[in-house]
Protein backbone atom coordinates (compact mmCIF):
# COMPACT_ATOMS: atom_id res chain seq x y z
CA UNK A 1 0.00 0.00 0.00
CA UNK A 2 2.81 2.36 0.79
CA UNK A 3 4.33 1.67 -2.66
CA UNK A 4 1.12 2.78 -4.40
CA UNK A 5 0.92 5.90 -2.25
CA UNK A 6 4.55 6.74 -3.03
CA UNK A 7 4.00 6.15 -6.75
CA UNK A 8 0.95 8.44 -6.92
CA UNK A 9 2.78 11.11 -4.98
CA UNK A 10 5.76 10.73 -7.34
CA UNK A 11 3.56 10.96 -10.42
CA UNK A 12 1.66 14.00 -9.08
CA UNK A 13 4.70 15.86 -7.78
CA UNK A 14 7.03 15.12 -10.67
CA UNK A 15 7.21 17.86 -13.27
CA UNK A 16 6.18 16.90 -16.76
CA UNK A 17 9.51 17.80 -18.27
CA UNK A 18 11.13 14.69 -16.82
CA UNK A 19 9.45 12.70 -19.57
CA UNK A 20 11.02 13.97 -22.76
CA UNK A 21 10.69 12.69 -26.30
CA UNK A 22 12.50 13.91 -29.35
CA UNK A 23 11.52 13.80 -33.01
CA UNK A 24 14.27 11.25 -33.59
CA UNK A 25 12.38 8.74 -31.41
CA UNK A 26 9.29 9.20 -33.59
CA UNK A 27 11.09 8.76 -36.90
CA UNK A 28 10.30 5.99 -39.35
CA UNK A 29 12.62 4.38 -41.82
CA UNK A 30 12.48 5.94 -45.29
CA UNK A 31 10.21 4.27 -47.82
CA UNK A 32 11.85 2.60 -50.74
CA UNK A 33 11.25 4.31 -54.05
CA UNK A 34 9.22 2.22 -56.42
CA UNK A 35 10.69 1.64 -59.81
CA UNK A 36 8.39 3.23 -62.38
CA UNK A 37 8.34 2.28 -66.01
CA UNK A 38 9.62 5.19 -68.15
CA UNK A 39 6.74 4.66 -70.57
CA UNK A 40 4.23 5.20 -67.74
CA UNK A 41 6.03 8.41 -66.68
CA UNK A 42 6.05 9.61 -70.29
CA UNK A 43 2.32 8.83 -70.65
CA UNK A 44 1.54 10.79 -67.45
CA UNK A 45 3.51 13.80 -68.67
CA UNK A 46 1.77 13.61 -72.04
CA UNK A 47 -1.69 13.54 -70.39
CA UNK A 48 -0.75 16.49 -68.16
CA UNK A 49 0.53 18.45 -71.16
CA UNK A 50 -2.64 17.74 -73.18
CA UNK A 51 -4.83 18.81 -70.25
CA UNK A 52 -2.90 22.09 -69.92
CA UNK A 53 -3.14 22.74 -73.67
CA UNK A 54 -6.89 22.13 -73.53
CA UNK A 55 -7.27 24.60 -70.65
CA UNK A 56 -5.21 27.19 -72.53
CA UNK A 57 -7.40 26.77 -75.63
CA UNK A 58 -10.55 27.14 -73.52
CA UNK A 59 -9.18 30.31 -71.86
CA UNK A 60 -8.20 31.80 -75.23
CA UNK A 61 -11.67 31.04 -76.57
CA UNK A 62 -13.36 32.67 -73.56
CA UNK A 63 -10.96 35.64 -73.50
CA UNK A 64 -13.11 37.49 -76.03
CA UNK A 65 -16.27 37.11 -73.94
CA UNK A 66 -17.16 39.90 -71.57
CA UNK A 67 -17.64 39.21 -67.91
CA UNK A 68 -21.35 39.14 -67.04
CA UNK A 69 -22.73 41.83 -64.78
CA UNK A 70 -25.21 40.28 -62.35
CA UNK A 71 -27.24 43.47 -62.03
CA UNK A 72 -27.90 43.54 -65.78
CA UNK A 73 -29.05 39.95 -66.12
CA UNK A 74 -32.78 39.53 -66.62
CA UNK A 75 -34.35 36.88 -64.36
CA UNK A 76 -35.73 33.83 -66.16
CA UNK A 77 -39.25 34.28 -64.76
CA UNK A 78 -39.43 37.73 -66.40
CA UNK A 79 -38.25 36.29 -69.71
CA UNK A 80 -40.93 33.60 -69.50
CA UNK A 81 -43.62 36.18 -68.63
CA UNK A 82 -42.67 38.50 -71.50
CA UNK A 83 -45.61 37.51 -73.78
CA UNK A 84 -48.05 38.12 -70.90
CA UNK A 85 -46.51 41.51 -70.11
CA UNK A 86 -46.51 42.89 -73.67
CA UNK A 87 -49.24 45.46 -74.23
CA UNK A 88 -51.00 46.04 -77.50
CA UNK A 89 -50.57 49.74 -78.16
CA UNK A 90 -53.07 51.47 -80.40
CA UNK A 91 -51.78 52.54 -83.78
CA UNK A 92 -50.70 56.18 -83.94
CA UNK A 93 -52.41 58.26 -86.59
CA UNK A 94 -50.37 60.17 -89.14
CA UNK A 95 -51.51 63.52 -87.69
CA UNK A 96 -50.36 62.67 -84.17
CA UNK A 97 -47.05 61.31 -85.48
CA UNK A 98 -46.44 64.49 -87.51
CA UNK A 99 -47.39 66.64 -84.52
CA UNK A 100 -44.88 64.79 -82.32
CA UNK A 101 -42.12 65.23 -84.90
CA UNK A 102 -42.82 68.97 -85.15
CA UNK A 103 -42.91 69.30 -81.37
CA UNK A 104 -39.54 67.51 -81.09
CA UNK A 105 -38.03 69.82 -83.71
CA UNK A 106 -39.35 72.93 -81.93
CA UNK A 107 -37.98 71.70 -78.59
CA UNK A 108 -34.54 71.01 -80.05
CA UNK A 109 -34.48 74.47 -81.68
CA UNK A 110 -35.46 76.12 -78.38
CA UNK A 111 -32.74 74.25 -76.44
CA UNK A 112 -30.16 75.15 -79.11
CA UNK A 113 -31.03 78.85 -78.89
CA UNK A 114 -30.87 78.69 -75.09
CA UNK A 115 -27.42 77.10 -75.25
CA UNK A 116 -26.13 79.68 -77.75
CA UNK A 117 -27.46 82.52 -75.55
CA UNK A 118 -25.71 81.06 -72.50
CA UNK A 119 -22.42 80.86 -74.40
CA UNK A 120 -22.80 84.46 -75.59
CA UNK A 121 -23.46 85.69 -72.05
CA UNK A 122 -20.39 83.84 -70.76
CA UNK A 123 -18.25 85.26 -73.58
CA UNK A 124 -19.43 88.84 -72.85
CA UNK A 125 -18.71 88.41 -69.13
CA UNK A 126 -15.22 87.06 -69.83
CA UNK A 127 -14.48 89.87 -72.28
CA UNK A 128 -15.59 92.54 -69.81
CA UNK A 129 -13.58 90.88 -67.03
CA UNK A 130 -10.45 90.76 -69.20
CA UNK A 131 -10.92 94.39 -70.23
CA UNK A 132 -11.31 95.45 -66.57
CA UNK A 133 -8.15 93.47 -65.64
CA UNK A 134 -6.19 95.11 -68.45
CA UNK A 135 -7.30 98.58 -67.28
CA UNK A 136 -6.38 97.67 -63.71
CA UNK A 137 -2.94 96.50 -64.85
CA UNK A 138 -2.35 99.83 -66.56
CA UNK A 139 -3.25 101.63 -63.32
CA UNK A 140 -1.31 99.45 -60.84
CA UNK A 141 0.58 96.16 -61.16
CA UNK A 142 0.18 95.46 -57.41
CA UNK A 143 -3.60 95.85 -57.58
CA UNK A 144 -3.67 93.62 -60.68
CA UNK A 145 -1.67 90.86 -58.92
CA UNK A 146 -3.98 91.13 -55.92
CA UNK A 147 -7.05 90.91 -58.18
CA UNK A 148 -5.97 87.72 -59.94
CA UNK A 149 -5.32 85.89 -56.67
CA UNK A 150 -7.93 83.29 -55.65
CA UNK A 151 -10.28 84.34 -52.85
CA UNK A 152 -10.53 81.30 -50.60
CA UNK A 153 -13.11 83.01 -48.37
CA UNK A 154 -15.50 83.44 -51.31
CA UNK A 155 -16.24 79.74 -51.58
CA UNK A 156 -15.15 77.84 -48.49
CA UNK A 157 -14.25 74.29 -49.45
CA UNK A 158 -14.37 71.38 -47.06
CA UNK A 159 -13.11 68.11 -48.46
CA UNK A 160 -13.82 64.82 -46.78
CA UNK A 161 -11.79 61.82 -47.89
CA UNK A 162 -13.03 58.33 -48.57
CA UNK A 163 -14.65 56.61 -45.61
CA UNK A 164 -14.13 53.06 -46.85
CA UNK A 165 -10.81 52.08 -48.36
CA UNK A 166 -9.47 48.71 -49.45
CA UNK A 167 -7.24 46.87 -46.98
CA UNK A 168 -3.51 47.55 -46.87
CA UNK A 169 -1.43 44.52 -47.86
CA UNK A 170 0.37 42.97 -44.89
CA UNK A 171 -1.51 45.07 -42.30
CA UNK A 172 -2.64 43.05 -39.28
CA UNK A 173 -6.07 44.39 -38.37
CA UNK A 174 -6.62 44.75 -34.62
CA UNK A 175 -10.23 43.58 -34.85
CA UNK A 176 -12.72 42.59 -37.53
CA UNK A 177 -12.15 40.89 -40.85
CA UNK A 178 -12.28 41.95 -44.46
CA UNK A 179 -14.33 39.56 -46.60
CA UNK A 180 -13.39 39.77 -50.25
CA UNK A 181 -16.37 38.35 -52.15
CA UNK A 182 -15.59 39.46 -55.69
CA UNK A 183 -16.50 36.72 -58.13
CA UNK A 184 -13.67 35.12 -60.07
CA UNK A 185 -14.28 34.62 -63.78
CA UNK A 186 -12.05 32.29 -65.74
Spatial separation of the C-alpha atoms in residues 136 and 143, rounded to whole Å: 7
Q: Judge contact between 173 and 167, C-beta under 8 A.
A: yes
Q: In three state form, how does the secondary structure of 91-126 look?
A: CCCHHHHHHHHHHHHHHHHHHHHHHHHHHHHHHHHH
Band (25; pLDDT cuts 50, 70, 90): low
Q: What is the pLDDT of residue 182?
A: 79
Distances (CA, A) of 80 to 70, 74, 87, 141: 19, 10, 15, 76
Is 20 a residue whose pLDDT tops 70?
no
Mean pLDDT across 89-106? 95
For the segment 60-85, what is each residue's pLDDT rounded down to a tens digit? 877 777 776 777 788 889 999 999 98
Give residue 150's Cα distance to chain centre: 37
Amino acid sequence: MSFLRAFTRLSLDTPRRLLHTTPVLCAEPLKKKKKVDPAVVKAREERRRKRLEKQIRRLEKNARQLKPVDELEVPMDLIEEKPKRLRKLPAISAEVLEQRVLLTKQWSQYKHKEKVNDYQIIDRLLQSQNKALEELRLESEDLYQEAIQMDLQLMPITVKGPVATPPIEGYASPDGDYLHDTKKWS
